[in-house]
Structure 1
Amino acid sequence: MEKQLFIASRVREVLLNGHWIANTNYQEQLADISWEQAILKINNLNTIATLTYHINYYLKGLLAAFETGKLEINDKYSFDLPEITSKTDWDELRHDFIRNAERFADKIEQFDTEIFSQPFFDEKYGSYLRNMEGVIEHSYYHLGQIVLIKKIITQ
């Protein structure tokens, strides 16, 4: 399997439809969360909505960077979730997340294999491969948090 197809399938696995590593994925976990549950604060943990926004922030920012050639996202803004006050707000965030996840995987599939060894916008960020693997690992990290928070609020 070509590297771009392999990486895209790993992205889809964690975000959209996989069960191999975590026995679940974002799309599955978020599907039955109400907006009230999504914004429920448990102690000092992030909310499910905040974690969803956080991963979506990077997906959206990387998609923009692939289009423009400029990486303009900043970690300090990645948790700046706009207020969610209704089912509509939550549904919009979830749908935007799923749409960006699909677009992100599709974009990776279109990469030439050679890009994975090239610098990711700036040499200080390492290679494309390192960053795509980072997106996957970062997504699994926060998926685990979502699963645990969901268990706490639905027991």
Structure 2
Amino acid sequence: MNRKDVLLEQFLCCQKKSHWFVSFEKAVAGLTPEQANWKKSDSENSIWELISHLVFWNERFLYRFKNKVIPKMEGNNDSTFTYLSESKWEQVLERFNVVMFDWIETIKNSEDEKFDQRISEESKETWLESLSSITLHNAYHIGQIVTIRKMQGSWSKEQGVS
């Protein structure tokens, strides 16, 4: 297995292939908009906000990877948790899925040398390092989604992770 295959496997596990952890697809299966907006307290993020955050950063780095213009960031990282607040629940899910499938296709079609390139002139980080961090970031927040569902009682151990 080469490094491109490893990255593809990481993105697939985050998106739809439950392996060592529950995939996004499984983590949000059957979730209603009301459940997605639920918060135990105001100091925590809802599932909807977590997905908005994931879309924001995955999309931004995908644009950079594809050498597309990246929109100027308004606000700070905290504001990314409300990025898709005006969208409908189905649109939020679709947006995440589109970005993730785009990542998978883009990585599949990339030349191996791309992974050795720095992500920007200002950064010492390579695309290989950055993409590995992106999948870890995705997995972390997917775990939060499962935890929130457990707290609200909308998770069944048959979905994985007891």
TM-score for both structures, normalised by structure 2 = 0.82
For 1:14 and 1:30, the matched residues in 2 are separated by 12
CA contact (8 A) 2:64 2:119 kept: no
Letter aligned with residue 80 of structure 2 = S
Size of the aligned set, in residue pairs, is 150
TM-score for both structures, normalised by structure 1 = 0.85
How far apart are 1:73 and its partner, in Å? 6.3
In structure 1, list runs of 5 or more residues that go unmatched. Answer: none
For 1:109 and 1:73, the matched residues in 2 are separated by 28
**1:35 lines up with 2:33 in the alignment:** yes
What is the Cα-based RMSD across aligned positions, in Å? 2.0
Aligned residue in 1 for 2:109: 110
Letter aligned with residue 11 of structure 1 = F
For 2:104 and 2:124, the matched residues in 1 are separated by 20
How far apart are 1:42 and its partner, in Å? 1.2
Aligned residue in 1 for 2:90: 91
Letter aligned with residue 137 of structure 1 = L
Q: Would you tell me which structure has more helix in proportion to its own residues?
A: 1
For 1:116 and 1:131, the matched residues in 2 are separated by 9
Task: Give every structure 1 segment of 4 or more consecutive aligned residues whose post-TM-superposition deviation is greater than 6 Å.
Answer: none
How far apart are 1:125 and its partner, in Å? 5.0
Aligned pairs for 1:123-142 within 5 A: 123-142=122-141
Letter aligned with residue 16 of structure 2 = L
Aligned pairs for 1:139-154 within 5 A: 139-154=138-153
Aligned residue in 1 for 2:160: none
Tell me: CA distance 1:57–1:118, structure 2 relative to 1, closer, same or farther (3 Å).
same
**Percent same amino acid among aligned pairs?**
20
Partner of 1:31, secondary structure, is coil
The worse-fitting range, judged by mean Cα deviation, of 114-123 and 137-146 is 114-123
How far apart are 1:79 and its partner, in Å? 1.8
How far apart are 1:58 and its partner, in Å? 1.4
For 1:72 and 1:131, the matched residues in 2 are separated by 19
How far apart are 1:69 and its partner, in Å? 4.3
How far apart are 1:90 and its partner, in Å? 0.4
Q: Deviations over 1:20-39 (max 9, x none)?
A: 221x1111111211000001
Aligned residue in 2 for 1:6: 6
How far apart are 1:46 and its partner, in Å? 0.7
